[in-house]
Structure 1
Amino acid sequence: MTTTPSDIDVVLPCLNEAEALPWVLARIPAGWRALVVDNGSTDGSADIARALGATVVHEPRRGFGAACHAGLTAATGDIVCFCDCDASLDPSLLEAFVREVRRDAADLVLGRRRPRGRGAWPVHALAGNLVLARMLRRRTGLRLHDLGPLRAARREALLGLGLTDRRSGYPLQMVVRAADAGWRVTEHDVPYLPRAGASKVTGTWRGTWQAVRDMGRVLSEPPAPHAPAVRRPVR
């Protein structure tokens, strides 16, 4: 990993991920900048991330969306990627996503999680994701199967979406508003590994239900007025 300036930033929302950070940061592609957004960790995650060469952003307001958006606003690269920080997803897979965005083949690229290994995707979390994916298809017409956190898009376009959710509805709101703006959204299979440590969002039925409620509110929102189109490179 390197700390030199990059046109690609990887946002890594982090809450007590000391165990997973070395594995995750070792897989950030060379020349990219890792933005570890510490969301109130008490296990030394921020110090570990900094020692491993990552840029640490502190976001005191708890919430997955709050951490993701803090990373987005701190990013400076042309392309911004997102990846969970729990070692369930390999950030090196983002290289293919970035190539797709760079060659103007897609505006937002998502990873469709494919479980590998026992316990990678608890039944309650999988069920909640399937329900939300169906609701998303009805709302947007996009033929997506997952709301996976591994994704890539251009920074200015993402900021133009005006994302407001700061809880677990953030990833869904990004896709909904992108669809409303006419973005080309693609999805690719990615291995989904058993995470390190306990899940902070969907590790229990209660957590999954709360996430579904958060995302249900996003799906009930009317289309954003004057949704911005993507400014594509001039050929």
Structure 2
Amino acid sequence: MSDVVLPCLNEAAALPWVLSRIPGGYRPIVADNGSTDGSPEIAAAHGATVVHARPTGFGAAAHAGLVAATADIVCFMDADGSFDPAQLDRVTAPVRASAADLVLGRRRPTVRAAWPVHARAGNAVLAWRLRWASGLRLFDLGPMRAARRADLLALDLRDRRFGYPLEMVLRAAEEGWRVREVDVDYAPRAAGSRSKVTGTVRGTMRAVRDMSRLLANAGGARR
């Protein structure tokens, strides 16, 4: 059994499809971050474990889900329908086989509209800076990912905003983890669902700001 952490803020439109696609052997944990559209109730009605995460912030939700998890292997995945949970085995298989310590899903858009130009450009810049800061050969800060719970908790991640996924990779690199990418499909999110990061230029800029701060610190430490 693996746990799947789904950080959530107003994803009522996407949750029924996402949760219906969770494969056998995976337990969904919806980490709600203050939804006002009934997302927690919908998640519970579809069999998910629901935890309420505070303060507001993507990292706060992701970490609350990690703490609530009990399985050896924990996955993270956006709850907006852009990823197909049926592909979770792609990120967990190398961890189960002890071939990698952290696996990131490298997004491969199914259609051009799935990944707006501003978001793709921001991700490319951050990935380039991540390669320089960490020495890891990565090309995407993939939100679908997997690692062992005990190892993740030992990283002692502190960011509770958009920098959380990047801090995870940077700390993993510092600890000498084997980090790799696998391809996963990236589709347009569910109708009625809007990404808090890539959906707007403002959201992308907030994420870039949070992550740039971490990268600047990592770069200073490397020098």
TM-score interval for Structure 1 and Structure 2 normalised by the shorter chain: over 0.9
Inter-partner Cα distance in structure 2 for 1:118 and 1:141? 30
Count how many residue pairs are aligned between Structure 1 and Structure 2: 218
Superposed CA offset, 1:26-46 (max 9, x none): 111113210001111111110
Q: State whether structure 2 residue 209 is matched by structure 1 residue 213.
A: yes
Taking the TM superposition and a 5 Å limit, the aligned residue runs for 1:79-94 are 79-94=73-88
- The aligned residue for residue 46 of structure 2 is 52
Q: State whether structure 2 residue 183 is matched by structure 1 residue 189.
A: yes
Inter-partner Cα distance in structure 2 for 1:195 and 1:159? 30
Letter in 1 for 2:36: T
> Which structure dedicates a bigger proportion of its chain to helix?
2
Match of 1:204 among 184, 200, 206: 200
- The aligned residue for residue 4 of structure 1 is none
Q: State whether structure 2 residue 19 is matched by structure 1 residue 19.
A: no
- The aligned residue for residue 230 of structure 1 is none
- The aligned residue for residue 158 of structure 1 is 152
Inter-partner Cα distance in structure 2 for 1:113 and 1:67? 22
Which consecutive unaligned segments of at least 5 residues does structure 2 have?
Answer: none
Taking the TM superposition and a 5 Å limit, the aligned residue runs for 1:97-176 are 97-176=91-170
TM-score of the two chains, using structure 2 as the length reference = 0.94
Letter in 2 for 1:200: K
Letter in 1 for 2:71: G
Q: Percent identity?
A: 67
Shift of 1:222: 4.4
User: What SS class does the counterpart of residue 145 from structure 1 fall into?
Assistant: coil
Inter-partner Cα distance in structure 1 for 2:195 and 2:75? 21
Contact 2:143–2:165 under 8 Å retained in 1? yes
Letter in 2 for 1:205: V
Which consecutive unaligned segments of at least 5 residues does structure 1 have?
Answer: 1-6, 226-235
Inter-partner Cα distance in structure 2 for 1:200 and 1:46? 18
Inter-partner Cα distance in structure 2 for 1:61 and 1:13? 13
Shift of 1:148: 0.9
- The aligned residue for residue 233 of structure 1 is none
- The aligned residue for residue 231 of structure 1 is none
Letter in 1 for 2:146: A
Shift of 1:122: 0.7
Inter-partner Cα distance in structure 2 for 1:218 and 1:23? 34
Letter in 2 for 1:151: R
TM-score of the two chains, using structure 1 as the length reference = 0.90
